[in-house]
C-alpha cells in the first residue's frame, strides 16, 4: 500500500505540554481520510505540522514518500491546504484570486487559465467567476477555498474543519465536492462533525488529547461495537408486557421505552433476536415493527473519547 502521509512518533509540545503525543499516521494514497477529535484535541496543530507550517518537537513526517521539512518550499509543492478560517481578498473576483494563487506556484499562464476554469467548475462557481468574493456566502467561500487548495494540482489536500461554520445546505455542497475528489487526490480532513465523516470517508482516525485512540475503516469501527440494539414498535400495553418478559433474559443489557418505541440493548444479537421472536410468538403479541439498529460512529466515538479522556 502506497502512503500519502506517514508520521512516526510525532510530538508537538508547548511549554512542556504535549498538544500532539506520539502520533503515528498512515494515510493510503487516494483515500478520503477523516481526522476526528473533540475541539482542543490537537487536530489543527497536527495539520500545521503536516503542511510544514509548524516544526514538530520530535518525530518525522513523510508526504508521498518524501520527508516534510519545516521551512523548505519544495516540501510544499505537492500539497494543498485549506485552513479553518481561510483568508480572501474581498475586492477580487473568484477567477482573479485563483490566478493569483496559481502564480505563487509559478504555473505557466496557459496552463493556469485552463486550470482555473476547470476548478471553478469542480466547485460549482463557474457562474460566479467574475463576482467579487466579498459578495460570496460562507459556503461559496469554502468552495473557493477548496479550489485554491487544488490550484497546484497537489497529490494530497489538507482541509481543517471545512464545514464547521456552514449551514446544512452549504455543508452538503462542500461535502459533495470533497466526495467527488475521491480517487483523484488524497483528502485528509479534520472535523468534529461525525455524520460528514460517516458519509464520505474510507478511513478515520480518532484522536483525543493529542494521541490516537482509534484508527480503522468505518465498517470495521462499526463492527467493533460489542453492543447492539433491537428496536421494537408496538402499542404501549404490548411493550409493557414485552419489557416484563425480557427483564431476566441473558444478554439483555438495557431496555428503554419511549411512547410506542422500545430499544433493547444486547450483547449477543443472534441469541437475543431468537429470544425476542420466541416471546412474541409464544404470547401471540403483535408488533408494528422490529429492527436491528446499527451502531453509529457517534456511539463508538463517544465511547472511545470518554474512555481515554
The predicted-structure confidence for 111-155, as pLDDT tens digits, reads as follows: 999 999 999 999 999 999 999 999 999 999 999 999 999 999 999
Read off the C-alpha cell for 205: 482516525
Model confidence at 269: pLDDT above 60: yes
Is residue 160 classed exposed, middle or buried when 0-12, 13-18 and 19+ CB atoms within 10 A define those classes?
A: buried
Answer yes or no: do 37 and 145 share one domain: yes
Number of domain units in the chain:
2
Question: What are all long-range contacts of 214-218, with beta carbons under 8 Å and residues at least 24 apart?
Answer: 214/300, 214/304, 215/25, 218/297
In this prediction, residues 90-115 reach a mean pLDDT of 93
For residue 308, being part of any structural domain is answered with no
Predicted confidence band at 42 (pLDDT cuts at 50, 70, 90)?
A: confident
* pLDDT higher at 144 or 19: 144
- Report the candidate in 25, 1, 36 with the shortest Cα–Cα distance to residue 221: 36
> Which pLDDT belongs to residue 35?
92
Is this prediction's pTM over 0.75?
Answer: yes
Predicted confidence band at 226 (pLDDT cuts at 50, 70, 90)?
A: low
Answer yes or no: do 19 and 92 share one domain: yes
**Alpha carbons within 13 A on the beta-carbon side of 203:** 15
- Beta bridge partner(s), residue 27: 5
Answer yes or no: do 169 and 258 share one domain: no
CATH number assigned to the domain comprising residue 46: 3.40.50.300
> Which pLDDT belongs to residue 202?
87
Per residue in 177-217, pLDDT tens?
Answer: 999 999 899 999 998 877 778 888 989 898 888 888 888 88
Answer yes or no: do 234 and 219 share one domain: no
For residue 33, being part of any structural domain is answered with yes
**If you ran DSSP here, which 8-state letter would residue 252 be given?**
E
Question: How many residues would you count in the chain?
Answer: 309
In this prediction, residues 14-23 reach a mean pLDDT of 87
Per residue in 230-245, pLDDT tens?
Answer: 899 999 888 988 888 8
- Helix H or strand E segment including 302: helix 297-308
Q: Which residue has the cell 416471546?
A: 279
Spatial distance between the Cα atoms of 236 and 260, rounded to a whole number of angstroms: 5
Answer yes or no: do 178 and 272 share one domain: no
Q: What residues make up the domain containing 238?
A: 225-294
CATH number assigned to the domain comprising residue 268: 3.30.70.920
Amino acid at each position: 500500500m502506497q502512503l500519502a502521509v506517514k508520521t512516526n512518533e510525532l510530538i508537538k509540545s508547548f511549554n512542556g505540554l504535549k498538544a500532539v503525543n506520539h502520533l503515528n499516521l498512515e494515510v493510503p494514497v487516494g483515500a478520503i481520510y477523516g481526522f476526528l477529535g473533540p475541539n482542543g484535541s490537537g487536530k489543527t496543530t497536527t495539520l500545521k505540522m503536516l503542511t510544514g507550517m509548524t516544526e514538530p518537537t520530535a518525530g518525522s513526517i513523510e508526504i508521498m514518500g518524501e520527508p516534510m521539512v519545516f521551512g523548505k518550499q519544495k516540501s510544499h509543492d505537492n500539497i494543498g491546504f485549506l485552513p479553518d478560517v481561510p483568508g480572501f481578498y474581498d475586492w477580487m473576483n473568484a477567477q482573479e484570486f485563483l490566478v493569483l494563487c496559481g502564480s505563487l506556484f509559478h504555473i505557466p499562464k496557459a496552463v493556469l487559465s485552463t486550470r482555473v476554469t476547470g476548478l471553478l467548475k469542480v466547485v460549482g462557481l463557474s457562474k460566479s467567476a467574475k463576482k467579487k468574493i466579498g459578495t460570496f456566502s460562507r459556503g461559496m467561500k469554502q468552495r473557493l477555498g477548496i479550489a485554491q487548495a487544488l490550484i497546484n494540482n497537489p497529490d494530497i489536500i489538507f482541509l481543517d474543519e471545512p464545514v464547521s461554520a456552514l449551514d446544512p445546505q452549504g455543508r452538503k455542497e462542500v461535502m459533495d465536492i470533497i466526495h467527488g475528489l475521491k480517487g483523484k487526490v488524497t483528502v485528509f480532513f479534520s472535523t468534529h462533525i461525525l455524520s460528514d465523516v460517516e458519509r464520505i470517508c474510507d478511513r478515520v482516525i480518532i484522536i483525543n488529547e493529542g494521541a490516537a485512540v482509534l484508527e480503522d475503516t468505518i465498517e470495521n469501527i462499526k463492527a467493533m461495537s460489542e453492543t447492539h440494539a433491537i428496536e421494537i414498535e408496538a402499542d404501549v400495553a404490548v411493550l409493557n408486557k414485552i419489557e416484563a418478559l425480557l427483564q431476566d433474559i441473558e444478554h439483555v443489557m438495557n431496555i428503554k421505552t419511549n411512547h410506542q418505541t422500545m430499544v433493547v440493548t444486547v450483547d449477543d444479537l443472534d441469541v437475543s433476536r431468537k429470544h425476542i421472536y420466541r416471546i412474541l410468538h409464544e404470547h401471540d403479541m403483535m408488533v408494528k415493527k422490529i429492527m436491528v439498529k446499527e451502531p453509529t460512529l457517534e456511539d463508538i466515538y463517544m465511547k472511545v473519547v470518554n474512555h481515554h479522556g
